Structure formats: structure tokens, C-alpha cells
Amino acid sequence: MSNREKLRQLLLQLDDKSYKAYKDIKGRYHFSDFTLIVDRVQGDPFASPSHVRVQLSQAVADFPKTLYQSRSREIALRDYLTRQFDLVAREFSSHRGTGNSGRIAIMSVGQSVIERTAAFVNDELVEVRFVVGLPARGRRISGRQAAEMLCEDIPEIVDQALKYESLDAVEIKQHVETIEDADWLRQQLAERDLVAFIADDAILPRRSGVDDRPLDKNALPFQSPETLRETFNCPNRGEVTGMGIPAGITLIVGGGYHGKSTVLRSLEVGVYNHIPGDGRELVVTQASAVKIRAEDGRSIASVDISPFINQLPQGRSTRQFSTANASGSTSQAANIIEALEANTQLLLVDEDTAATNFMIRDHRMQQLIAKDKEPITPFIDKIRQLYTDYGVSTIVVMGGSGDYFDVADTVIAMDNFQPYDVTEKARAIAKQYQTERIPEGGKEFGEIAPRIPLPESIDPSRGSRDVKLKVRDVDEVVFGKEEIDLAAVEQIVEKGQLRAIAEAIVYAKRHYINGRTTVAEVLNRMMADLESQGLDLLGNLPEGDLVLFRQFELAAALNRLRTLQVRDHH
């Protein structure tokens, strides 16, 4: 191993040489109290910047073991260090020449706390991964600037961001305790037969459609109705009260603009934990909750949507329904069946993004259009069977139709952004004003037919490259020659999840997708490997930009791959 002085000399010697000569700096360098590792060197100043790691021994970093001893705390501390590194690196990152010259950056993160490959902590060391834009004038190396970045700036960032003594001990403690409490709360839900919990005083609205931070001045804090109030004794925070949403079928009603979708959105992302100050720190949803919506235009590969849709025009089968261009209702049906296939226990549906004809079919329409002329069995006639046959609960926002009163166990009305328990009232109304609907859902929900993905239909290669993956924004993955559109998969919250999902499909194909293993089994094995071996399983080099996902988001990507082909189990 070389040392810092050697690296400085090397960089000064490279000054003014052609940019390619930077390749020589790949390797490990021993600094006085940490190790700098250059894993990948960019080919030119405009290419994506070089991959660098630092490793500090715990003798130097000195984080108390209590801050990372449980799984929850470890993820939280790693998240904290990522944010801290980001804050400090921003002060040092500057434009120092052409292209990305001068850039020092770690993966960017949002309001959630998720397992990521940007930072690691264990008894031996702290490791952080980031990128450096090696500086250039035109296409010539700026050796002096590079030496400044790698040999002066990075040690300074390490000092300020990665050593316990330079950090705010109270803030770190609060960070790890908050995350531990949220994980604990989520685990408590099942015991009380709840599927979600929203703490009193939670702030649910966000600053804007493109700014996920909490709405500041005018946000009305959440207050549970008495009848739904639950009290928990969290390991760190102690007593917490708030609204418990029971298992079964829950309806969220209320006038337009009274906060219904905001509540549902907070439940969608309640499968993740949130940073202190977010407002949703103690909003937790059962971990397997899946947001369901209509998504016309998506592709579908042999999904049995017959519980919802039958007897299409032209006699098309819906037991193995495939299309390159789904309608609103067929896409929503497929989204539900695929979520069940991946083993969800909770569906979240908002009328704003649902297909109306999938959700309701009222008495008058039943009179006008006979059942045998309507392929769709509306969700209202299947929602109860989902719970009785499969134990799958649903929370549905529905301000537009009181027909759902008949099937709801709990009805919550949002009024001026506050929830009220109107279950009894809704029941009385349902009794007084019968809908006279004829139930159309049959006796059972129907079977969820297992599907087996065919390996040859999943091809990550492009041109001369065996694996070509790329992520665009938070909603598109380039997978070989295909583009996977994930704009409608609303529980993907970080770009790094897309990177990881793309890599996971490649991994799953290599290990488990063999023409004999079902989708459910592939998902289970993939998630088990990630659980036991961590995200470093994915990718080639140590990657610094991977973020953990759930089997549902992985399934969503696989199911939207337009080349996907499956065969059924039999």
C-alpha cells in the first residue's frame, strides 16, 4: 500500500498529461488515520465521476457500539453518516475545470431511512463510498487540483463527517432511536390486529408535489379520533398515542381537498422509516403494503386476471392475460394479482388514481348493462373475499361512492384535514338507503395461479455488452435493449432503488430464473440473499449507489419488462 505523500507526488507528476493517465491512481492509499481507495477511474472529465471509498478504523471513528448494535440502529447510523458526509462534501465540492472536475459527492437521499451502500459501520471500521470528479483543464489532468481534492479536502471531510467526536452526539442518538422506535411500532401492528398507525401530532402534508419535506407553517397536526386511538410504549420515546387502522376493509371518505390522499400517501411510504423532523417518523404501515392504481399502457405477461375480468370482446382469455397496452381496468386488475403473487397483506387504493369502472358498478348501471355484457367484476364485489380468502386487508380512499359502505369494517371521514370515525353513521345510512346492487363477485376470490418466468425472455445485454443497465430519474430503468417504465410504481422513493432493482433482476436471472421456479419463489430467494448477504451482492465492484427495495418493487420491474414471458405452473 502507498501513502498519502506518494499519491500527492503521483498526481503532481500527472499534471498536464492526457486524462487517461489518471488510470494510474487506482489503488489503496494509507493516510494518517484512514485509508483511501480508488476503485474506478473515469475515462474523461465528462464521464460519470470516479468511485472512491474511505475506511476508518473504529479506533479512530470511535462510534459507541450502542449506536449500531441493533439492525435498526445500524441502518440509522449508516443513514446519518451518509447525510453528514453529504453536508460537508457540499462545502468542498466545487467546479474546478471541465465536466465533473472538482465534484465530491455521495449518493443523494430523501426523507426516508433505508439500507444503502453509501456507508457501512461495524466493530472494526466505518466505510463510506462516494464519487470524485477528477479535475481537468480541457482534457488534460489538473494534477495540483487533484492533489488538493484527494490529499487535503477528503481528509478534511473525513474529519468533520465521519468521526464521532466531531458530530452532534444528541442528534445521532435521536436519529437511531427514532428509527428503532418506528421499526418496533411496525412490528407491533400485527399483535393488535392493525395494519397501520398514525401518531398524534404527525405532520402528513408535504411542501409541494416536488418537495417531500414537511409542509411548514400551515400544516395541521394529525389527531386520532377517540374510538380508534391506540397507545404504545416505544422502547426509546416511551408512550405514543395515535390512530390505529384495523385489519379488514377501511374506507377513507370526505370532501374534496380535505386531506384524504395525503393520509393515503403517508401510509404508502409508511413501509419506510423517516428522519427526525419529517413529521411521519411515527407513521407506520404493515411492511407488505402495496399501492394499487390504474396504469393504462403498461404491458402484462400472462396474468390470471379472471377474478376481476372475464369474457372480453373477441373471446380473449383472461386466465393468461397478456397485452402490450393495458387499459385502466385491466392494468389495475393485473397490479392487484401481481401484488398478491408477491405476497402482499395490504392493498392501498386511491380513487384519484383508480379506474372508475374497476371500482364501482351501481344499481342503475347493472340494470342498463347486463352482467354478461360487462367483463369487469368491480373491486367492491371482491374486496371482502380478499380478506376472508387470503387475509388481505384494503384501505381505500373513496369520496365519490357510498356503495362501499356495505363492505367496509371501518369508515374514517377526513374533515378539514382531521379524521373522524364515522363507521356507525355509515352503517346506519347503508341500512336506511339500500343500494339495491346485485353482488357480482361469486363465492370466492379465485385462485392466484403461480407463474414461472422464462430466462430467455429476460436479457440485460446490449451490443457487445453482456449487461447494460442505466437509470433515468426515479422512474425508468434501461435494461439491455428495453426500457422499464416505473413511473406508476409509487413506493419506489429513491433512484438508488432502481439501480439495485436492475442489478437484482440480473442476479435473479443468473441464480434463480431457470424456467422451473415461480415468480414468488424467485422473489423469496432474492430477498433472502439480500437479507443474509447485504446489497453488496449486487453489482461488480463495491457500489456506492444501491438502495434496498422490497420484493414488490422488484416484482413490479420484472412484470413491466416488455419482453417478459412466463409459463403457468402446470
From the list 204, 249, 337, 342, which residue makes contact with ligand ADP (rule: CB under 6 A)? 204
C-alpha–C-alpha distance, residues 179 and 175, integer Å: 7
C-alpha–C-alpha distance, residues 568 and 449, integer Å: 7
User: CB of 251: closest distance to Mg ion in angstroms?
Assistant: 14
Return the ∠ at Cα 45 (arms to 40 and 51), rounded to 5°: 20
Instruction: Dump the DSSP string for 259-322.
Output: SHHHHHHHHHGGGSEE-TTSS-TTEEE-TTEEEE---TT--EEEE--TTTB---GGG--STTEE
Identify the DSSP state of 415. E
**Would you say 207 or 510 has its CB closer to ligand ADP?**
207
The answer to whether residue 220 forms part of the interface with ligand ADP (CB under 6 A) is yes
User: CB of 278: closest distance to ligand ADP in angstroms?
Assistant: 14
User: CB of 519: closest distance to ligand ADP in angstroms?
Assistant: 33
Query: CB of 263 within 8 A of CB of 212?
Result: no
- Point out which span in 105-113, 114-122, 218-226, 526-534 binds ligand ADP (CB under 6 A): 218-226
- Point out which span in 115-123, 183-191, 259-267, 459-467 binds ligand ADP (CB under 6 A): 259-267
- Point out which span in 255-263, 278-286, 364-372, 562-570 binds ligand ADP (CB under 6 A): 255-263
Smallest Cα–Cα separation from 158: which of 84, 66, 79? 84
Q: Which of positions 324-383 make contact with Mg ion (CB under 5 A)?
A: 352
Residues that contact ligand ADP, how many (by CB under 6 A)? 16
Q: Which of positions 137-196 make contact with Mg ion (CB under 5 A)?
A: none
The answer to whether residue 258 forms part of the interface with ligand ADP (CB under 6 A) is yes
User: CB of 261: closest distance to Mg ion in angstroms?
Assistant: 3
Q: How many C-alpha atoms does 227 have within 13 Å on its Cβ side?
A: 11
**Would you say 193 or 352 has its CB closer to Mg ion?**
352
Quote the crossing angle between the two packed helices 71-92 and 154-161, to the nearest 10°: 140
C-alpha–C-alpha distance, residues 399 and 414, integer Å: 10
The answer to whether residue 262 forms part of the interface with ligand ADP (CB under 6 A) is yes
323 phi and psi angles, rounded to 5 deg: -160, 155
From the list 165, 238, 239, 256, which residue makes contact with ligand ADP (rule: CB under 6 A)? 256
Q: In what order do the strands lie in the sheet with 283-285?
A: 229-234, 238-246, 194-199, 283-285
Return the SS3 of 472.
strand
Q: Count the helices and strands in the chain (H runs, E runs).
A: 15, 30
From the list 112, 261, 318, 353, which residue makes contact with ligand ADP (rule: CB under 6 A)? 261
**Would you say 199 or 252 has its CB closer to Mg ion?**
252
From the list 261, 302, 345, 377, which residue makes contact with Mg ion (rule: CB under 5 A)? 261
Return the SS3 of 552.
helix
Q: Which of positions 415-444 make contact with ligand ADP (CB under 6 A)?
A: 417
Residue 432: name its binding partner from Mg ion, ligand ADP, none (Cβ under 5 to 8 Å by kind): none
Name the one residue in this structure whose C-alpha cell is 387499459.
327
The answer to whether residue 280 forms part of the interface with ligand ADP (CB under 6 A) is no
User: CB of 275: closest distance to ligand ADP in angstroms?
Assistant: 19
Q: C-alpha cell of 381?
A: 364485489
The answer to whether residue 111 forms part of the interface with ligand ADP (CB under 6 A) is no
User: CB of 256: closest distance to ligand ADP in angstroms?
Assistant: 5
| C-alpha pair distances (Å), 508 with each of 52, 67, 463, 556 | 27, 34, 22, 14
- Point out which span in 145-153, 183-191, 257-265, 362-370 binds ligand ADP (CB under 6 A): 257-265
**Would you say 117 or 262 has its CB closer to ligand ADP?**
262
- Point out which span in 95-103, 214-222, 274-282, 341-349 binds ligand ADP (CB under 6 A): 214-222
**Would you say 352 or 536 has its CB closer to Mg ion?**
352
544 phi and psi angles, rounded to 5 deg: -105, 5
Chain residues binding ligand ADP by CB under 6 A are 204-205, 215, 218-220, 254, 256-262, 414, 417
